[in-house]
Amino acid sequence: MVEGDRLAFVQAISRLVVALREPEPDGVLLRTYFAALHDVEIEFLLAAADRLIGHAQWFPKTSEWRAEAARVEKERVEAQRELLRKLPAPLCLECLDSGWREDASAPVKVLKAFQRNREGTVEAVSVAPGRAPVRRCECQKLRRLELLGRLPSPASYRDAAAPSLGNDELSPDEAASLKTLIERRTGLAIVPRGMPQSWAAKMARRADRDDDHEAEVSNG
């Protein structure tokens, strides 16, 4: 939660109090609960409160509220994975919805192992990982926002495009309307994969400038 979630949180407590016939909460309880649950996202806490109203016998302890919120999160994560598996095409072409993409510049975790050498003494050896280094794909942030309900579920893209998505390619019109739909719903601009020449030149100039600047800084 962030400070701005305090009102929604207090309103959830009020609903719990009414539903579970608790006495009016005082400021100490509100502050204590807010502090104890501040690391949980408000969306999960609110969904958990609705469930607790449905089945709890008593006003939940912070640990019970946290556990219910964790269940909500786990179920949403599983439902999202299931949905991504069923999509006719991956939402993210960079990582094919795995959430991780290969990146040669990502730090490699070298494992240490111990082995006995010929002289009979034990020595440490480094074991390089068997696959290329990976880093988090940017799409993980989008998937997280969808889980929280701050962005519409990928199901809405699937439904919007369902009539024509199959093994056939999208027609230019369909591709354009899908692009507009995704941009409108996510607020993100979709950039074609091939970068126009003019951009490439601009990026290259910028990279040169950055290099010069770094050189100046290190010289000064």
Contacts to Zn ion by CB under 5 A: 92, 94-95, 137, 139
Min CB(101)–Zn ion separation in Å: 6
Q: Measured from the CB atom, is 132 or 215 closer to Zn ion?
A: 132
* CB closer to Zn ion, 99 vs 152: 99
Short-list 98, 37, 34, 22, CA closest to 68? 37
Tell me whether residue 64 or residue 94 sits nearer to Zn ion (CB atom): 94
**For Zn ion, the closer CB: 137 or 182:** 137
Q: Shortest distance, CB of residue 105 to Zn ion, whole angstroms?
A: 17
Closest approach, Cβ 78 to Zn ion, in A, equals: 19
Cβ nearer to Zn ion, comparing 98 with 177 = 98
Give least dist CB 98 to Zn ion, A.
7
Question: Could you tell me the smallest distance in angstroms from the CB atom of residue 154 to Zn ion?
Answer: 12
Q: Which residues pair with 101 in a beta bridge?
A: 135
Token duo for residue 33: 């609960």
